[in-house]
Structures are given as C-alpha cells and as structure tokens.
Amino acid sequence: MADGTFDLRPDEARLLLNVALMATGKNFFKSATKILAALEGFRPGEESVATAKVVLMISLGEFEMAVDYIDREALVKWPESAMLRAFRGMALIRMGRRESAEACLLEAAQSADEAAANLARGLLE
C-alpha cells in the first residue's frame, strides 16, 4: 500500500495458513508459530487460524494448553465450530480423559461440517 502499511489478500492468507500447517506436519514448530502469529495479526477473526493454532498445540503435545485455548478463546469467538470441538475431544483423549471428550465429539460428529464430523467419528471409534 502507498502509506507503507501491509495488507494480506485472502488467497495469500490461505497460502500462509497451508504453509504453517505443512511446517507443523514436518515438525518445524518455530516456523509454524511465527507464521500463525503473523496471520493472527492480519486475520484475528479467522476461525481457520485459531484451528491451526490448536493443531500446532496438539502436535507439540500441549494438550492442556489446547483445551484451555479452545475453551477460553476459540469457542467464545466461534461457539458453533464443530472442528474446534473435534480437536478439543482429540486433546482430551490425548490427556487420557476419553470420558470428558465424548460429549464434544458426539456433538461434532453430528455436524454439517463434514471434515469435523469425520474427524470426530474417527476419534469416537
């Protein structure tokens, strides 16, 4: 932009989000963290960025942190998010709290969000 500020187009944001998720998958956690922090600055209202942060936390083994973030921040902003509920269930399972996970997984499994429903059903099996 002419005034020296920087803007991020939606297609650029999606590309960076995909890069962050690939970095997470390849265990480049510092890079993923930096990319997601930048994306959050440009797109603070994007559920996809919050979901990617949760994926990173789970990949780092920070299950309690993931559940806390989902409960205190993400589901407050996106209370209808089946994907966040599915990842909450995943983190609870990884913490050894399968019984606690079942309610949010059952809810996500019945969602219209096909990806979230499939993830939740897979975790319930």
**Res 2 pLDDT > 50:** no
* CA-angle at 56, arms to 52 and 60, nearest 5°: 170
Domains of the chain, CATH where assigned: 10-124 (1.25.40.10)
89 or 8, which is more confident?
89
What predicted TM-score, i.e. pTM, was given to this entire model? 0.88
Q: What is the average pLDDT across 13-29?
A: 95
60 Cβ contact partners less than 8 Å away, ≥ 6 residues apart: 29
